[in-house]
């Protein structure tokens, strides 16, 4: 009996081994599954990218919008003397211009579209011809305090030009401007103490009926993460005729150019934070003096050359402007449009023989 049981157990074990040996091996579909996963992931990424495609952008910064932009551009004359620092509110500007005036100094034009986000703005100084012309290119009321006699206030934009028709401006209206008494008491000259606020300017635009919204694009094109190519430009020096230098230094972490105006880091007095720009443009423009020997004119209509620096690289560019009511447009040397990166832009108008140094 014991032998019979042992025999039966041996036969069962042998049958089990045969079944295991004959069992088909499950196909290895790891590779197939991985490929399918990658394909599905790629499809999902493509669909997600399409869903996130930017249909509308802000005309001056390229920021993504949910609907077409409609708003008002405002341009403010900003004092740029070392003795007038710090400037306030300029971090809230979408585009910041620097242009040389008489006396071998520069003044600035801060171009805003979002006044609600800006507190104090200034110090505000008098208008000059080139600034009038730039403001008109954006259909922007010019905010200022006086102007060069017969030039800035007359609205002229060239030595032999006619006046600008329907020039919109607000000239130091006491309802919407104020003097910073603390500055004056701390030794600032009176001309360095005039300011306004975003709230006051918004009220002024309503009062002057300069608040008609527009949906113009102003000739600028934007894409995210521009790879400009060209040469390395981690330090850019803009040289003005009178000797004034502006330095812009690239920060690889923030991917922006920090501004140095008077030998020190440029700070916004509202935030006490450094001022920085995503895009840097310097264009060469013909300039000459008025017959009075002091006030300068710039050729702001026509075409010329210059440079654009984005994300640490610099390329030569061309600029053009078809007429007074038209915007400045920028292209590469081969006439393809210049794409700016999303963010704020510094623009310098310099004499045609002045160098732009970079390293």
Domain membership flag for residue 9: no
What does the pLDDT look like over 209-233, one tens digit per residue?
998 888 888 999 999 999 988 999 9
User: How far apart (Å, rounded) are the C-alpha atoms in residues 115 and 199?
Assistant: 7
Same domain as 138, residue 243: no
% of the chain at pLDDT higher than 70: 80
Domain membership flag for residue 69: yes
Domain membership flag for residue 242: yes
Confidence (pLDDT) at 147: 82
Instruction: Select from 207, 236, 264 the last residue of a domain.
Output: 207
DSSP code per residue over 15-28: HHHHHHHHSPPPP-
Domain harbouring 93, CATH code: 3.50.90.10
Same domain as 197, residue 73: yes
Same domain as 172, residue 298: no
| pLDDT of 191 above 50 | yes
Same domain as 249, residue 155: no
Total domain count for the chain?
Answer: 2
Q: Which of 282, 281, 275, 349 is nearest to 310 (CA)?
A: 281
Place of tokens 């920085």: 276
Q: Which of 248, 260, 241, 229 is nearest to 357 (CA)?
A: 248
% of the chain at pLDDT higher than 90: 65
In the structure encoding, which two tokens stand for residue 236, read together? Answer: 């850019």
The sign of the torsion formed by the CA atoms of 269, 271, 275, 279 equals: negative
What does the pLDDT look like over 240-263, one tens digit per residue?
888 899 999 999 999 999 999 999
Same domain as 226, residue 198: no
Reduce the DSSP state of residue 4 to 3 states and report it.
Answer: helix
pTM for this prediction: 0.84
Helix then strand then coil, in percent of the chain rounded to 5, is 25, 35, 45
* Strands of 220-344, DSSP E: 221-223, 231-232, 235-239, 245-251, 256-260, 267-268, 273-274, 276-277, 279-285, 287-289, 296-298, 302-310, 313-321, 329-332, 339-341
Same domain as 275, residue 176: no
Q: Three-state SS string across 136-199, please?
A: HHCCCCEEECCECCCCCCCCECCCCCCECCCCCEEECCCCCCEECHHHHHCCCCHHHCEEEEHH
297 vs 205: which has the higher pLDDT: 205
Report the first-to-last Cα separation within the chain, whole angstroms: 100
Confidence (pLDDT) at 13: 44
User: How far apart (Å, rounded) are the C-alpha atoms in residues 245 and 104?
Assistant: 11
Where is average pLDDT lowest: 26-30, 58-62, 266-270?
26-30
| pLDDT of 346 above 50 | yes
CB of 256 closer than 8 Å to CB of 279: no
> Residue 139's domain spans which residues?
64-207
What does the pLDDT look like over 110-157, one tens digit per residue?
999 999 999 999 999 998 888 988 999 999 999 999 887 655 555 555
User: How far apart (Å, rounded) are the C-alpha atoms in residues 7 and 14?
Assistant: 11
Confidence (pLDDT) at 18: 42
Domain membership flag for residue 57: no
Domain membership flag for residue 353: yes
Domain membership flag for residue 22: no
Confidence (pLDDT) at 134: 93
What does the pLDDT look like over 52-93, one tens digit per residue?
578 999 999 999 999 999 999 999 999 999 999 999 999 999
Q: Which of 320, 318, 357 is nearest to 334 (CA)?
A: 318
Is residue 77 within a helix (H) or strand (E), and if so which, with residue range? strand 74-78
Q: What is the mean pLDDT of residues 265-270?
A: 96
């Amino acid at each position: 009996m014991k032998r019979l049981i042992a025999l039966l157990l041996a036969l069962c074990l042998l049958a089990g081994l045969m079944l295991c040996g004959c069992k088909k091996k499950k196909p290895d579909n790891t590779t197939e599954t991985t490929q399918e996963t990658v394909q599905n992931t790629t499809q999902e990424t493509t669909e997600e990218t399409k869903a996130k495609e930017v249909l509308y952008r802000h005309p001056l910064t390229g920021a993504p919008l949910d609907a077409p932009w409609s708003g008002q551009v405002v341009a403010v004359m900003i004092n740029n003397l070392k003795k007038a620092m710090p400037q306030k509110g300029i971090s809230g500007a979408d585009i910041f211009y620097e242009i040389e005036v008489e006396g071998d100094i520069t003044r600035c034009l801060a171009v805003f579209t979002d006044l609600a986000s800006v507190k104090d703005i200034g110090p505000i100084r008098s208008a000059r011809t080139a600034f009038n012309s730039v403001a008109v290119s954006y259909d922007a009321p010019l905010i200022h305090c006086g102007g060069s006699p017969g030039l800035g206030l007359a609205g002229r934009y060239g030595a032999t030009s006619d006046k600008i028709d329907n020039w919109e401006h607000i000239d130091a209206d006491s309802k919407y401007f104020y003097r910073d008494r603390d500055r004056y008491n701390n030794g600032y000259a009176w001309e360095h103490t005039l300011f306004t606020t975003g709230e006051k300017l918004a009220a002024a635009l309503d009062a002057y009926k300069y608040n008609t919204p527009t949906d113009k694009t102003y000739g600028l094109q934007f894409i995210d993460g521009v790879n400009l190519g060209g040469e390395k430009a981690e330090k850019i020096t803009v040289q003005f005729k009178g000797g004034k230098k502006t330095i812009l230094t690239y920060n690889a972490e923030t991917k922006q150019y920090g501004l140095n105006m008077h030998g020190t880091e440029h700070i916004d007095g509202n935030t006490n934070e450094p001022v920085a720009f995503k895009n840097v443009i310097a264009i060469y423009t013909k300039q000459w003096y008025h017959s009075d020997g002091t006030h300068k004119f710039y050729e702001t209509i026509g075409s010329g050359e210059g440079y654009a620096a984005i994300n640490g690289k610099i390329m030569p560019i061309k600029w053009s402007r078809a007429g007074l009511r038209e915007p400045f447009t920028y292209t590469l040397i081969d006439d393809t449009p210049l794409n700016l990166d999303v963010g704020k832009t510094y623009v310098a108008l310099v004499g045609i023989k002045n160098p732009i140094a970079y390293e």
